Amino acid sequence: MRMPVAAAIAVCAATPALAEDLIFTLINDSSYTIVEMNVSPVGEELWGENILTIDFVSPGMSGDVTIADGLDVCDYDLRFVTEDGIEASKTQNLCEINTFTIND
């Protein structure tokens, strides 16, 4: 089932002329329900806010994610939290992908 699962991250800052939104399809191919997704540029100390626009992403769901933070970077840390409180994270170059799949 394909649904919109994440919203754009908006930052009140000057946007570089070459900065473009990063858009990819998130696929939950795991057996876990995802209740939170956070992103931050690699090297940042703190996670950004939860960008899911729905309460949860069940196994088998997919949807588009847009990161519109005005930054001209590709490498992000992604953090996912399940309904059981399990956390998983991964560093990903988001400029090089069209889909990101969460697996067990």
Q: Which two tokens stand for residue 66?
A: 């847009």
List pLDDT tens digits, range 60-84.
999 999 898 888 999 999 999 999 9
Whether residue 15 is contained in a domain is answered as: no
pLDDT at residue 5 is higher than 90: no
Would you place residue 1 in the very low, low, confident or very high pLDDT band (cuts 50, 70, 90)?
low
List pLDDT tens digits, range 78-93.
999 999 999 999 999 9
Whether residue 37 is contained in a domain is answered as: yes
CATH number for 46: 2.60.40.2890
Provide, rounded to the nearest whole percent, the portion of the chain with pLDDT above 90. Answer: 66
Whether residue 59 is contained in a domain is answered as: yes
Whether residue 88 is contained in a domain is answered as: yes
pTM over 0.85: no
Average pLDDT over residues 49-54: 89
Domain count, the chain: 1
Whether residue 49 is contained in a domain is answered as: yes
Whether residue 27 is contained in a domain is answered as: yes
Would you place residue 53 in the very low, low, confident or very high pLDDT band (cuts 50, 70, 90)?
confident
| Residue 65: closest CA among 54, 18, 90 | 54
State which residues form the domain around 91.
22-97
Distances (CA, A) of 89 to 20, 39, 42, 92, 95: 24, 9, 12, 10, 18
